Chains A and B, each alone.
Chain A
Amino acid sequence: MSVVIKVEGLSKCYRLGDISRKMLYEDLQRRWARFRGKQDPFSFINDPKAAQRAEAREVWALQDVDMEVRDGDVVGIIGRNGSGKSTLLKILSKITAPTKGRALVKGRVASLLEVGTGFHGELSGRENVYMNAAILGMTKQEIDRKFDQIVDFSGVEKFIDTPVKRYSSGMTVRLAFAVAAHLDPEILIIDEVLAVGDAAFQKKCLGRMSEVAREGRTILFVSHQVAAVENLCTRGVVLENGKVKFTGAQSDAISYYVGSFTQQSSSLRERTDRQGNGQIRIVNIEFRDPDGRTLTTVQSGRDVDVYLFFENDTPAVERPALWVHIQVKSGLDVPVFSQSNLMTGESFEPLLPERGAFVCRLRKLPLPSSLFRLNYIVNNAPVGGTLLDRMDNAVELPVEGGDFFGSGQIPDAHEGVCLVAGDWRVQADAVSSSAPAPAPATVGT
């Protein structure tokens, strides 16, 4: 097995901010400096001050990414939003060039960042197949050869000479995917946007992709859906903030990815991923039982107090509408529920002490045994206020199975991410509203 994609020190920098006259001015200054053989006035080598200035205006979507993909690998690239997955994909599919480093590719690459690129409503299905396939890099001979297969796969033979604008959206997508599915590159780059659509279509996409994978083609699949990566890929690469954090077998990569949400072990006080002006900061979060005992794990169905210890630098400032919000998310980053003093309609004293804790009691914790995480927001006012402090994935909330239903049954996390109390009974005289209605009572008697 030979290496077909070799990525060496790949970095990509984006400039932030508006494109404006100021930018034109900077561009001209850079050009002028380069023309005279001087150093770039906005480069930040040897100048820490400039470095700060520049850092605020530039963002590195990818930083020193090294990676090798071998022939026949099916690699899942996973990472949260903003981790650089899409940027990597764009560079590999030649949509944009890297800022530093390079990527070497062996063989023909086809990238599917979207199905149906270049479809035109006025043209017939047949013409659109040719159009779309040509955009994706097929030659006319190849398309001629595969045309029947493509139409067969799409199931729209009857309408192949009808303008595509008369198609239902499902037909369009099927036709578009049929073209994509019959590309014949050595390397296929697929974005997860491909996996939108109804469940049946997703299944078909994934099915076709695993077929392609079995044929020994190299596939790069980008997703933050762990399930899709699990089904399709043999190897995984985890990206985080533009850097490769893990490379290895698919299952190891997934467990690393899921684990990475909770590995931020440093204490809250030292965390650097805060947002907000910091006039009030949450410096520690603890879970306690109603008797005030600190808990390391919380049990399903028990009452629990969430203590958000704060430090207030501005004790003299009145904050009549202070809003404290917590959100609990599952291990796969799905929000489960939120709580805030706005929801419960409670407001705090306008003057807060320098130190203290916001305490929220969660009654009868409706979470099954699993590892959850907590986000919080402290804001001056619920609407239009200044953000004081905010952190995502501030702490983890380990939940142990408990007797939530009071029946001795310990609910399993696989049955759902939250628990709802309920009652069951049999009602003999119940009538379905869709059943023939009983004779209406006569009005007036």
Chain B
Amino acid sequence: MNSLPPQKGRSEGLAGENTDERPRAAACKDSSPANCATPEDLSEWTQVLSPDRGWFDLRLGELWRYRDLVFRFFRRDFVASYKQTILGPLWFFIPPIFTTLIFTVVFGKIGQIPTDGMPPFLFFLLGNTAWTYFASCLTRSATTFSGNAGLFGKVYFPRMVMPLSTILANLLTFAIQFGLFLALYLVFWLRGSPIEPNWRIVILPLLLLQMGALGLGIGCIVSALTTRFRDLAYMIAFGTQFWMYASCVVYPLSQIPREWRWLFILNPMVPIIESLRFAFLGGGIVEMWHLAISAAITLVLLFIGLVMFSRSEKTFMDTI
């Protein structure tokens, strides 16, 4: 139930003044008839703690009130991440560079996977950077409940604060790593590599949003399921690895035989990565309906994830 928005600050408009019919009606609809006998009674209470679990109860107002905390956690994660390391912020660049080098050598040189005329290094770097962002959104959201049980067991705040703050931190990491991509991109471009950036790069923010939403959605599903059964937590580690190889990160979609492409289109990450390459490097297969399917799947998964998250967040402490 819990549909009465918590009041901000002290003693302002708790009782009489706020006699808006809507929250009352909402509270009444969700609760059992017994509780409904005195619906006017409920409006003066700031919080109703009951077993009823909202079916889809995001409580965005409450989340907004805790926006500071989202920012704090984001800052904490970010500031604390490379403290007491000698290379410090260089660590933002080392993994993508080396992974890309390995990809270039293993898949580009040894495996001879064609990159549709795009410079292999940039091809792999772009795919890897985007994938890293998505994968960390996914894995960090997936451990929301199990990883923060200690904190969640001591104090209440909207649980969604945690995944949102990690997505922010991932976005910033992505921005830094993408800066690296742009720098190398410039170098390649000045040296006359055949890369054709086009106006479609404006789609980048939308794709970032979509990857974040997709990671959050699946992460929430896993997170909600792992409150009881931890199996999925183990699956997620190799699952993301497996998924990467199914997502056109180390090969272009054009390498997939035509009759199997439909299967790859169903993977929402494929159109995203292909679009990124198309926008920045000018190669790849992108069609509007691919993106539409990908967006639809993302929305469905996000919706399922949020429902499962809000259903389990009230009682997960009992089973975790």
The residues of A with any CB-CB pair to B shorter than 8 Å are 6, 14-15, 19, 23-24, 27, 90-109, 111, 113-114, 117-118, 120, 122-123, 127, 130-131, 134-137, 139-140, 163, 184-186
Contact = CB atoms under 8 A, between A and B. Distances in A.
Given A96-B315, A134-B72, A139-B68, 5 more contacts: A90-B317, A100-B51, A102-B49, A117-B155, A127-B76
Contact of B45 (A104, A123, A185): A104
Nearest to A121: B80
Contacts, number: 123
A95 to B, nearest CB: 6
A196 to B, nearest CB: 14
B156 A95 contact: yes
Contact of A118 (B44, B45, B84, B151): B151
Given A111-B155, A140-B68, A106 B44 contact: yes
28 contacts: A6-B45, A24-B228, A90-B317, A91-B49, A92-B49, A94-B47, A95-B152, A95-B153, A95-B154, A95-B155, A96-B314, A97-B51, A103-B48, A104-B47, A105-B49, A106-B46, A107-B11, A113-B155, A114-B155, A122-B84, A131-B73, A131-B76, A135-B157, A139-B65, A139-B68, A140-B68, A184-B10, A186-B11
Interface in B32-83: 35, 42, 44-51, 53, 65-66, 68-69, 72-73, 75-76, 79-80, 83
The 4 tightest CB contacts between A and B, nearest first, are: A102-B50, A94-B156, A122-B80, A97-B314
A101 B50 contact: yes
Interface string B132-155: 000000000000000000011111
Contacts of A108: 6-7, 9-10, 46
Q: What secondary structure prevails in chain B residues at the interface with A?
A: loop
Give the interface residue-count category, chain B. Answer: 35 or more
B262 interface: no
A134 B158 CA distance: 12
Given A91-B49, A134-B68, A24 B10 contact: no
Contacts of A105: 45-49
From B14, B72, B152, B153, name the one whose CB has the most chain A CB atoms within 10 angstroms: B72
A48 to B, nearest CB: 25
Given A97-B314, A103-B49, A123 B154 contact: no
B196 to A, nearest CB: 44
B318 A14 contact: yes
A106 B14 CA distance: 8
A51 B6 CA distance: 39
B76 A106 contact: no
A117 B49 contact: no
Contacts of B156: 93-95, 111
B82 to A, nearest CB: 10
B98 interface: no
Given A93-B155, A95-B153, A117-B151, A23 B46 contact: no
A263 B317 CA distance: 35
A10 to B, nearest CB: 8
Contacts of A139: 65, 68
A315 to B, nearest CB: 46
A137 B157 contact: yes
B80 A102 contact: no
A102 B2 CA distance: 11
Contact of A24 (B44, B46, B47, B229): B229
B241 interface: no
A19 B225 CA distance: 13
A152 B27 CA distance: 44
A103 B68 CA distance: 28
B112 interface: no
A85 to B, nearest CB: 15
A105 B7 CA distance: 11
Contacts of B315: 96-97
A100 B157 CA distance: 22
Interface string B301-315: 000000000000011
B258 to A, nearest CB: 41
A94 B69 CA distance: 18
A24 to B, nearest CB: 6
Chain A CB within 10 A, most for which of B7, B53, B315: B315
A140 B71 CA distance: 11
Contacts of B72: 130-131, 134-135
B209 to A, nearest CB: 25
B76 A123 contact: yes
Interface string B254-285: 00000000000000000000000000000000
Which one of B51, B73, B84 has the highest number of Cβ atoms from chain A below 10 Å of its Cβ? B51
Contacts of A23: 228
A123 B80 contact: yes
Most buried by A among B6, B68, B228: B68
Nearest to B44: A106
Contacts of A184: 10
Contacts of A93: 155-156
A117 B2 CA distance: 25
